């Protein structure tokens, strides 16, 4: 009876070790997969800061599918409006707010509240 119990205990220990080892190696594989994806991003995210009444950078080199994020770090409210009518435009961006948009084409844009503020997206 004692021997039977010992065999059972040893078997359970072996099974647990096998299970743990298998779990670790699966995580390791997943980690490698994630790393491959981050190493080769399909599209970049670029940030344009709005500060001191300027879009910074004012001219940005982009690829179709990239995402542009505008962040209003200025004293007053701004917006992002395409120079082309009926193209893209953001809501009013209050201080601290941001807006993002995927790039579809090269474009000139401005702030419709402060029309002397200009920016450009140029395709690489």
- Interface residues with another protein (CB under 8 A) are 52-54, 74-77, 95, 113-117
First to last CA, the chain: 78
Q: 68 or 117, CB closer to another protein?
A: 117
Q: Beta strands 98-102 and 67-72: pairing type? A: antiparallel
User: Least distance in Å: CB of 115 to another protein?
Assistant: 6
Contact 90, 73 (CB under 8 A): no
Q: 78 or 82, CB closer to another protein?
A: 78
User: Least distance in Å: CB of 48 to another protein?
Assistant: 16
Q: What is the DSSP string of 81-117?
A: EESSTTS-B---B-TT-EEEEE--S-EEEE-SSSTT-
User: Least distance in Å: CB of 44 to another protein?
Assistant: 29
User: Least distance in Å: CB of 107 to another protein?
Assistant: 22
Q: 55 or 66, CB closer to another protein?
A: 55
CB atoms within 10 A of CB 67: 14
Q: 66 or 74, CB closer to another protein?
A: 74
């Amino acid at each position: 009876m004692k021997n039977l119990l010992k065999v059972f205990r040893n078997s359970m220990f072996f099974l647990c070790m096998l299970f743990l080892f298998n779990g670790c190696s699966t995580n390791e594989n997943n980690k490698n997969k994630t790393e491959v994806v981050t190493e080769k991003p399909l599209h970049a995210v670029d940030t344009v800061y709005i500060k001191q009444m300027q879009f910074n950078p004012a001219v940005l080199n982009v690829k179709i599918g990239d995402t542009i994020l505008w962040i209003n770090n200025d004293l007053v409210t701004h917006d992002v409006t395409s120079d082309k009518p009926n193209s893209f435009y953001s809501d009013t961006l209050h201080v601290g707010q941001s807006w993002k948009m995927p790039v579809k084409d090269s474009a000139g844009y401005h702030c419709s509240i402060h029309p002397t503020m200009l920016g450009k997206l140029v395709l690489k």
